Amino acid sequence: MAEPSTGERIAKIIARAGICSRRDAEKLIAEGRVALDGKTVTTPATKVGEGHVVAVDGKPLTEPESARLWRYHKPSGLVVTHKDPQGRPTVFTNLPKQLPRVVSVGRLDFNTEGLLLLTNDGEIARRLELPTGGWVRKYRVRLFGKPTQAQFDKLAEGVTIDGVKYGPVIADLERSGGTHAWATVSIKEGKNREVKRVMESLGLKVARLIRVQFGPFHLGQLAEGEVEEIPAKLWREHLGIGRKKTKPE
C-alpha cells in the first residue's frame, strides 16, 4: 500500500496506543524503530490512514483501549520515568499489578509526594499537562526558615529567577514557628522544580512537598502508593471532550 497523505500523524497514533508520549514517539521514529506497513518510517510527519499497520520494534500496535485516567498517591523516593539512567526505583515499577501500561501526566521530583495522574492514553496525558490548560497545581509545603505572608504576597505577580520567568504563585502561610513552617502553594504552569526554585529565591528550603490538587482532581484520602480510577464521564466533562473521542474516528 502507498503511504497515505491523509490520516493522522504517526506519533499521535503511537501515543494513543499507550506506548509512550507523542514526544517519545518522535524519538522512536528518529531511532528507526517505527515501521509503517513493514517500511521504516523516517519522519514524524508521516500520516497513517485506515487499514495501515504501524509497528514499534517489529510489534504491530494493538487497537487502543478506551482512554482511562487514574489518581495515584506518589510516595517520596520514586522517580517518574520509565527508565532511570541512575537506576533509582521508578513509579512505574511500583504500581499495583492490575494497572495496564500507563504514562504519567507530567512529573513530580524524586522526593515530591502526592497526586500524580496516570493514563493509558499518551494524548490525554499531553492535553492535561499543557501549561495553556491553566489548571491549578496545589501543594502543601514544609519549609526550613521563617517565611512571612508579606514575603509570599510578592510572588503573586510572578518572579524571574536566573532568566526563567515563573507565573503567579499564590502562597498562603498556614503555620510558622521554630525552624519550620507549613504553607499552601498554587501554581499554574508546573515548570521544572518550580515550587522549590521559587521558595529558594526567598531563602527558604523545601523540606517536604506534597501535591494535593491538579486542576479539578484532588489527592483526598488516597493512601500512599494507592491508585484509584477517575470515572471517564467525570474527567471527559472536565476536559470538554465527548465519549470515545480519543479513538480514531
Q: Applying CB under 6 A, does 193 fall inside the site for ligand URA? A: yes
Q: What is the DSSP letter of 129?
A: H
152 bridge partner residues: none
Q: Which of 24, 109, 121, 153 is catalytic?
A: 109
Of residues 15, 105, 117, 195, which one binds ligand URA by CB under 6 A? 195
To ligand URA, the closest distance from the beta carbon of 186 in angstroms equals: 11
Of residues 36, 102, 194, 235, which one binds ligand URA by CB under 6 A? 194
Q: Applying CB under 6 A, does 19 fall inside the site for ligand URA? A: no
End-to-end alpha carbon distance in the chain? 21
- Pair 43, 69: CB distance under 8 Å: no
- Pair 157, 168: CB distance under 8 Å: yes
Q: What is the dihedral of CA 169, 172, 177, 181, to 10 degrees?
A: -40
Q: Candidates 144-152, 155-163, 187-195, 232-240 — which segment interacts with ligand URA by CB under 6 A?
A: 187-195
Binding mask 88-127 for ligand URA (x = CB under 6 A): --------------------xx--x---------------
Q: Is residue 153 among the annotated active site residues? A: no
182 to 169, 174, 185, 208: CA distances (angstroms): 16, 5, 10, 9
Which parts of this chain interact with ligand URA (CB under 6 A)? 108-109, 112, 193-196, 209
